[in-house]
Amino acid sequence: MAKIKGTIGILTGGGDVPGLNPAIRAITVRAVREGYRVVGIRKGWEGMIRIDRDRPLEEQEYCQVLTTQIVNKVGRTGGTFLHTSRTQPSKVKKNDVPAPLQKTYAQEVNDLTPEVIQNLNHLGIDHLIPIGGDDTLSYAVRLHEEGFPVVGIPKTMDNDVAGTDYCLGFSTCVTRTIELVNQLRTSAGSHERFLVVEVFGRYAGFSALLPAMAGASNRCIIPEHPFDMEHLAELMSEDRRRNPSNYSIVIVSEGAMFADGGMVFEGEEADAYGHKKLGGIGEQVGARLKQLSPKYNNGEQVGIISQKLGYLVRSGQPDAIDSIVPVAYGNMAFNLLLEGKSGRLVCLRDGNYGDVDLAEVTATKKRVNIEKHYNTERLRPDYRNFENKPLFIMSCED
């Protein structure tokens, strides 16, 4: 039996998206072919704080040795078969500290990084490839700073990881949103209503802007520009009158903000990254549109269809782009580790694959450039030229 050259760990963190399993497959197939062992860490960073150092790798609840047979079966599917979590090992609440560690870590918030490093060493993992958004990857930056070899792969349906034009899951999200909004047109048109569609997007409006650019909606509301309801109601009423089927559509990012108020939350409870769960902005926009509609429709009240797309746009199998890009990202991450490089993020910039300093993830914020890409008067995408622009128009350098 050939000697194993080393062990590579893979984990996925944050929200699930199509494209994760193809990336895991790409890394595993290539690594095994090159003589490496691959270990999947279950439940993201949570798995890394729950390793039992009294047990060997093969008996770990939160680990799985990956083979080509295993990953080939799931490589075409959505989600992540390794499962995921929103655990942040450097900020673990007292009640979330694993039972065997509670005597050592008894503060209200605890940094379990020393345990993570010991667990990686116990498992014999030489290199780690975390796949996630800015929260997941921010902890990867911490591990790199501690001296552990890490290469990150950007993933988020919001496409808001700094340093790259493209994050796994974004294309499928846009594709699903366009499809679902177009299906909802039949009801909106049948009842001559305003259709309000809420989509994900906490701080960045890419997942609302791109479908609107593709013609899925008349207007879109994004987090980067607080909006006035009177203005939106006037525009939506104008759109409805111009439409032979007498309806109009607005796509609303979950993180959008009224000009006279902030974000809309479902409750006060926050996750491990400090984020409260967003939700309800679509319902509120719909209710206010209905209330304001007589003012712009000759005294007639216009009915509302309010639909939150939610997990529908991040579920199911990946589209073509989220099947191809993960293959490139996975192989690039493996190549970087072979070259002895750490603290890098694989990326797409200006249509070219490459890699950047992983620290870019935490150094800047990737948001829609309002001046370049959003018409604040018309509350819709602003696109006048496409020359020398990347596939999805907006780059991380905008």
Active site residues: 158
The amino acid occupying position 162 is A
> Would you report the helix, strand and coil content of the chain in percent, each value rounded to 5?
40, 20, 40
Residues 6 or more apart whose Cβ sits within 8 Å of residue 277: 265, 266, 267, 269, 271
Residue 274 has which token pair?
């400090």
Whether 314 and 17 have beta carbons less than 8 Å apart is answered as: yes
Burial level of 196, CB count in 10 A (0-12/13-18/19+)? Answer: buried
Whether 226 and 258 have beta carbons less than 8 Å apart is answered as: yes
Q: What is the 3-state secondary structure (H, E, C) of 107-126?
A: CCEECCHHHHHHHHHHHCCC
Alpha helices, DSSP H, located in 275-314? 281-296
Q: How far is CA 158 from the centre of its chain?
A: 5
| Distance (Å, whole) CA 243 – CA 189 | 9
Collapsing DSSP states into helix, strand and coil, what is residue 151?
strand
| Distance (Å, whole) CA 45 – CA 89 | 7
Q: Which residues pair with 258 in a beta bridge?
A: 227
User: Nearest Cα to 193, choosing from 242, 222, 236, 232?
Assistant: 236
Q: Which long-range contacts (CB under 8 A, 24 or more apart) does 91-100 make?
A: 91/272, 91/274, 92/49, 92/272, 93/272, 96/272, 97/49, 98/49, 98/50, 100/52
In this structure, the dihedral spanned by the alpha carbons of residues 385, 196, 187 and 248, taken in order and rounded to 10 degrees, is -50
Greatest CA separation found in the chain? 81
